[in-house]
Structure 1
Amino acid sequence: MITRLLAAAAVLALPIPLAAQEESAPAAEQAATIEPQVRTRDLVGTFGGQRMSYRATVGETVLTSDSGKSEAVIVTTSYVRSPRDTSRPVFFIYNGGPGSGSVWLQMGAWGPKRVAIPSDARDDGAPPYPLVDNPESLLDVADLVFIDPPGTGFSYLTPGTDPKNYYGLREDARAVAEVIRRWINDNGRWNSPKYLGGESYGTTRTAMVVDELEGGTFNDVGLNGLILVSTILDFAAREPTPGNEMAYVVTLPNMAAAAWFHGKAEAPSVEAIAEEARRFAIGPFASALLKGQDLPDAERAAVRAELSRLTGLSETYLDQANLRVTSQRFYKELLRDRGLTIGRLDARYTGTDYDNAGEYPDNDPSFYGIDAGYTAAVNTWLREGLGFETTREYQSIGREPGQHWNWSLSSGPGRSAYLNVAPLIGKAMRQNAGLRLFNAQGYYDFATPFFGAEYSLNRIGIPQDRVELHYYGSGHMMYVRDEDRAKLSRDLRAFIRNR
C-alpha cells in the first residue's frame, strides 16, 4: 500500500477504454472530491503550572492506493505550543480497540480540555457533562498529536475500499506510521524528540508502529520513548482456553486487588496484597496448575486455602472450579452476597444485574458508567470548540474494524495462533540505544492485567534498564480518578524530561 495524495487530473488523463472509464468514474470522482479539511484555533491555557499559547488543529489526511484511489481519511487533532519550537518533543497518541477513537486519552488524560465525571467509581449520570480546562495536559513538555486510525473517531474508509487493506495488525500499523511520517514532514519535526504510545490495544499498535517506523533499512523515524497505558502485548497469556494455565496465573493478582478493595481480603494496602498474590501466583499456584490431575490432595488443599484468602471466594466455589476461576465468573461471584457485580475495566465500579442467580454479569458497570460523558465531550469539543464540520458520527468504539481485523503477524501461509508482539518492542530497543519505555497499569484493570504486562515486558530480549513500570489505584482508564490522572501526568512529565 503506497499512501499519497494524487491529483484527480492525473487519474483522468490515463488512456483507458470507455467502459473502463465509466466503471472507474466513481473512484475518480471520489478521489477528486476529497479535499482534506483542516480547522485551527489559537488558544491559551495553563498546563503543568505554565501559562502558554498553543494552536489546536483538526485535520484530515487522505491515504490512497497505488492506483490513486482515495481509500482512507484519517483525522488527527494536534496541539502545538506557540510560537512553534522544533526542539520540543512531539508525542503521537491513539487509543485501542481495535476500533476505539482517541477520545479517551484526549478528553480524559492529556488533551487541553477534559470531561469532568465522578472520580469515585460512580456512573456519569445524565447530561450536561462539564467540559473543563485540564491542567494535567502534557502540553508544557511536549506537543501532542492524537490520531484516530481508520474506522475510529471521524476517520473512515471510502466507498469501495477493501477493509482488508486497513483492518489488521500490519495494515493498521502501516496506515498510522504513514500519518505520523506525513505530520512530521508537514510540520518540519524530523529532528524533534519523538514519543509514541497508546492505551489497551493501542499498546499492541505501538509495538507494530515502532516496527514500521524503525524496523526498516531506509527512512527510519527514530523514537525517544514508547508510552504504554494498560498494556496487552502477549494475548495468549490472558485467554482462559482450557489447558492454558497462564491466563489464571496473570489474573490472580487482579482478583486479590479487587477483593481487597471491596473488603473481601485483608492486607495493609493494595500494593501489599498485589505483591503477595504475585509471589503466590508464579510459585505455588502456577506449580499446582501445571501438575494437572497429578496434583496431590494435600497440595491442592493448601493452594485452595491460600487462593480463598487472597480472592475472597469460598473454598467450596474454588474446589468446584478446579482452582481455575475465569475473570467473567469472578465479576459475578465476588460480591454475590451483596447482590452486586464488579467492573471489568475497573473493578472499583459495581453494578446491579437483572437477578443475582446468573454465572456472568449482564454488563460492565465500569464502561457504561463513563461512556456517555466522553462521547458528549469529544463531539462538543471537536465540532463546536475547534470547528470541525462533518455529518459522520464519532466512533468512540467502532464495530467495523473488529469485524474485519486480521490478527495474524504472518503475511504468508502457516499458523500464528500465539500472538505476542512484545518481541518487536525488544528488537526496537536493542537497535535504538536511546529508546526507553514507560508502562502504566491500574491495579483494578481486568481487561489488561498488570501482572500480564509485567510478564510480557520482562521476557528475554527487552533491556530492563530502560523500562519503567508505574501503578495506579484505579483501572484500565486510570485517569478517570483525579488522583491518578495527576500522578500519571507527573510520572510522564518526568519520563519525557529525563530523556
Structure 2
Amino acid sequence: MTRLLLCATVACLVSPLTPLHAESASHAPAAHSPIPDSITTGSVALPGGTVAYKAIAGTILVHARHYDDSSSVIASRTEQPPASDKHEGEDKDDAVASMFYVAYFKQGVPAGKRPVTFLYNGGPGSATVWLHMGSVGPLRLDTPGDTHLPAPPYTLIVNPQSLLDVTDLVFIDAPGTGFSRIAGHDADKAFYGVDADGHAFTDFIVQFLAKYDRFNSPRYLFGESYGTTRSAVVANDLEDRSIDLNGVILLSQILNYDNSVDEPEANPGIDDPYILALPTYAATAWYHKRLSPMPADLPAFLREVEHFALTDYSAALRQGADLPADQRKAIAAKLAAYTGLPAPYILRSGLRVNGGQFTKELLADAGMTTGRLDTRFSGPTLDPVSREAGYDPQSTALSSAYVSAFNVYVRQTLHYGEGVTYKEGIEVNWDFKHHRPGPDSDNPGTNVMPDLARVMKEDPKLKIMLNSGYYDLATPYFEGVYEMKHLPIPASLYGNIEFKQYASGHMVYVKPDALQRLHDNVADFIRRTDNL
C-alpha cells in the first residue's frame, strides 16, 4: 500500500485533492467571520476499481428544538454562524449550531443511484476524527499493532477498505466538537443532551438531503459508541419527519446506560452489567494468555462463557445475600477460570468486578493495566495500590496520531480550517434525560431501545446491523447482543437485525484485518438493502 507521511508535502503525494475553491491559507478567518466551504477532488484505488470523488468540507446551520423558522428566509438555514463560540448580537432565544462535515461524493453517478451514509462518533462530546481517520474514508491511519505508536511524523495510507466503493460518505462533527460551534442564549443546554443532540443531527440530515438533492438516495446511519445511542434517536426522529432509512449500522453499541460496566456499583441491585461484560473479560484473559488451560477456539469459548453468564452466574447474583457460601465459592472459582482473576479477589468483590477493576487487576502481577476501549492494549499501572487503572492505554497509544493526522489532512489536503482550533473532544454537562416514544415516557436515565423498536415497527423494512469487538470494555459486545434481543418488537422483526463480531476492540477498525471484515460486511449489508 502506498504510504503518506504527514509532512509539508501531504497534499501532493497520494491521490492529490485539487482545490476548486478554498480559503487562502494566508487569510485566516476573523473571530466573527464564517468559514467558506471548500470543494476538492481526488481518487482512491479500491479492489473493484478506482473511485474518483468530490470532497466537500463545510458547515450547515441548525437551530435548537422548537425554533420557529416560519418567517425565516430559506437561504439563512445554511449560512455559517461565526467561527467563535459566542455570537455577538445573537438573539438570546436563538441558540444555533454550525455543524461541520466532510462529504465524499463519487463523481459521475446520479444522486438517486448512489447511497449516502452519515457517520459520527459519540462521547458524548467527541468529534468524528476517529471514524474519519481510522475507518472507511479515502485515507486512513496505519495502525498495525496493539502498542503505543511512535511520536510524529505519522503515516496515512490510501485506504483499500474505504466504503466509497458502495456509498457516498458524510462525516459529521457533533455541535461544539471539531470545527462545529454553538452560539446563542443557553446554547449548551440547547444542544448538549440526548434529545437536543438527536434533534440537531436530524435537522442536519434533512438539510443535507435538500442541499445536495439526495432525498431519493438510499440512506444509512453509521454511529459508533454514543453514536449508536444517537442513531436510535435520530432514526426515530427522521421517521417522524417522513424520512425512511434503508439501514442503521451500529458499531460498539450502547442503547441502555444501565448496562454500562464502568461504575455499576453506583446502581446497586442492577446486576446486568457484570453479566454482560463477563464474555469480554474472558476474551481479554484469553488474549493475554491468562487462562489455564488455554481454549483453542475463541468464539466457541465465548459461547460457553455467554451461556454461563446468563444461567449460573445470573442466578447467583440474583440471590444476593441469600447465595449459600459453598455456591458463592463455586461461582468465584468458575469466574476465576474464565477471567484469569484470582478467586479470592473475586470473592472480596462480591462476585461483581467492574470494568475498571478488571483492567487494573488482570496484569497487576506484571505492573501493567489493560485498555478499556481495546483490552488488547496494555501499559504500566499508574498506581499499583489503586482500585482502578486511572487511564486507558489504548487511548493514549493512538490519540495523538489521530488528532495530528486529521489536523494536517483537513488543512493541507481539504483546505479547510486554517487558523481555527479543531476540538477533538470537549467536556460537556450532558443531559441524559430522554423522552421515550409513547405517553408519559420521560425518564431520568438513558434507554433508547424504545426509540429503535418504534422505528422498526413503523418501518418494518428497516434493517439493522450491529458490529462489535470482542475486546471492547467500553461497550461490551454481549451487551449489544442482549439489548437487541430484548427490543420490544414483534418476533417477525428480529430477522431484520444482523450481528457481526470481530477480534478487535471498541474502535474495531484499528486492527487492519478487522477493518477489512468490517468493510466487507458493511458493503454487503448496503448492497443487500439499497434497493438499487
Using structure 1 for the length normalisation, give the TM-score.
0.89
Amino acid at match of 1:375: V
Letter in 2 for 1:80: F
Note the alpha carbon deviations across 1:340-360, whole angstroms, 9 max, x for none.
110000000011024423221
Residue 50 of structure 2: aligned partner? 51
Task: Tell me which residue corresponds to 2:100.
Answer: 75
The letter of the residue matching 1:39 is S
How many angstroms apart in 2 are the aligned matches of 1:289 and 1:179? 45
Say if 2:434 and 2:444, in contact at 8 Å, map to a contact too. no
Which residue number in structure 1 is paired with residue 83 of structure 2? none
Task: Report the CA distance between 1:255 and its aligned residue.
Answer: 0.6
Does the alignment pair 1:482 with 2:493? no
Q: Does 2:211 match 1:186?
A: yes
The AA in structure 1 aligned to 2:502 is Y
Partner of 1:63: 62
The 5 A counterparts of 1:22-421 are 35=34, 37-64=36-63, 66=68, 69=90, 71-86=96-111, 87-117=113-143, 119-158=144-183, 160-214=185-239, 216=240, 219-238=241-260, 239-240=263-264, 241-265=267-291, 266-399=294-427, 402-403=428-429, 405-410=430-435, 416-421=443-448
The one-letter code sitting in structure 2 at the alignment partner of 1:476 is: H
Cα drift, residue 84 of structure 1: 3.7
Q: CA deviation at 1:159?
A: 5.4
Shift of 1:317: 1.0
SS of the residue 2:169 aligns to: strand
Q: Are the counterparts in 2 of residues 254 and 443 from structure 1 also a CA contact under 8 Å?
A: yes
On the 8 A contact 2:42/2:52 being kept in 1, the answer is yes
Q: How far apart in 2 are the matches of 1:355 and 1:441? A: 31
Q: How far 1:467 moved relative to its partner?
A: 0.6
State the alpha-carbon separation in 2 of the partners of residues 460 and 183 from structure 1.
Answer: 30
Question: Which amino acid letter does the alignment assign opposite residue 108 of structure 1?
Answer: G
Confirm or deny: 8 A CA contact 2:373 2:505 kept in the other structure: yes
| Alpha-carbon distance in structure 2 between the residues aligned to 1:151 and 1:49 | 38
**In 2, Cα distance between equivalents of 1:149 and 1:317:** 41
Which letter maps to 1:57? I
Once the two structures are superposed, residues 412-465 of structure 1 have per-residue CA deviations (whole angstroms, 9 ceiling, x without a partner) of: 999623421012111111111221011110000000011110111111434210
Q: Which runs of no fewer than 5 residues in structure 2 stay unpaired?
A: 1-31, 73-89
In structure 2, how many angstroms separate the alpha carbons of the residues matched to 1:287 and 1:315? 19
Question: Aligned residue for 1:492?
Answer: 522
Moved more, 44-53 or 462-471: 44-53
* Shift in alpha-carbon separation, 1:169–1:477, aligned structure 2, 3 A: same
Structure 1 residues 233 and 470: alpha-carbon distance in aligned structure 2, compared to 1, 3 A threshold = same
**What letter matches 2:131 in structure 1?**
L
What CA distance in whole angstroms lies between the structure 2 residues aligned with 1:435 and 1:415? Answer: 26
Give the aligned residue type for 1:435.
L
Aligned-partner residue type, residue 525 of structure 2: F
Would you say the 8 A contact 2:332–2:343 is kept in 1? yes
Aligned mates of 2:208, 2:442 — CA distance in 1: 36
Report the Cα distance in structure 2 between the residues aligned to 1:75 and 1:489, rounded to whole angstroms: 25
Task: Give the TM-score normalised by structure 2.
Answer: 0.83
**CA separation in 1, counterparts of 2:486 and 2:417?**
46
Would the alpha carbon gap of residues 414 and 57 (structure 1) be closer, same or farther in structure 2, given more than 3 Å must change?
A: closer
Secondary structure of residue in 1 paired with 2:505? coil
1:188 Cα deviation after fit: 1.0
- The Cα offsets for residues 221-273 of structure 1, whole Å up to 9 and x where unpaired, read as 11000000000101112251222211111111111111111111221232122
Secondary structure of the equivalent of 1:299? Answer: helix
Provide, for residues 132-188 of structure 1, a one-character-per-residue CA deviation record: whole Å limited to 9, x for no partner: 211111001000111112011110112545211111111111111111111111111
| Secondary structure in 2 matching 1:469 | strand
Query: What is the CA-CA distance between 1:335 and the residue it aligns to?
Result: 0.8
Is the contact between residue 36 and residue 62 of structure 1 (CA under 8 Å) also seen in structure 2? no
Against the structure 1 CA distance between its residues 48 and 205, is the aligned structure 2 distance closer, same or farther, given a 3 Å change threshold?
Answer: farther
Contact 2:276–2:479 (8 Å) recurs in 1? yes
Tell me the amino acid that sits aligned with residue 107 of structure 2.
S
State the match for 2:499 in structure 1: 469
Deviation at 1:334, TM superposition (A): 0.7
Q: 1:48 to 1:182 in 2, by over 3 A?
A: farther
Report what 2:20 is aligned to: none
Q: Distance in 2 between matches of 1:89 and 1:42?
A: 19
The residue type paired with residue 412 of structure 2 is E
- The CA distance in 1 between the partners of 2:132 and 2:169, in whole Å, is 9
The alignment partner of 2:331 has SS state of: helix
Per-residue deviation, 1:78: 0.2
Alpha-carbon distance, 1:81 to partner: 0.4
Equivalent position of 2:10 in the other structure:
none
1:440 aligns with 2:467: yes
Look up the SS of the partner of 1:369 in the other structure: helix
Q: Tell me the SS of whatever aligns to 2:434.
A: coil
Partner residue of 1:457? Answer: 484
The answer to which of 138-147 and 390-399 deviates more is: 390-399
Quote the Cα distance in structure 2 between the aligned partners of 1:234 and 1:263. 32
Question: C-alpha separation between the residues in 2 aligned to 1:279 and 1:319?
Answer: 21
Q: Deviations over 1:52-107 (max 9, x none)?
A: 21000001112345487572111110000002421111001111011111111111
Question: How far apart in 2 are the matches of 1:460 and 1:453?
Answer: 11
Contact 1:41 1:57 in 2 (8 A): yes
Letter in 1 for 2:511: R
1:350 partner letter = S
For the residues of structure 1 that align with 2:440 and 2:515, how far apart are their CA atoms? Answer: 45
How far did 1:487 drift? 0.7
Task: Give 3-state SS (helix, strand or coil) of 1:498's partner.
Answer: helix
Q: Distance in 2 between matches of 1:453 and 1:108?
A: 22
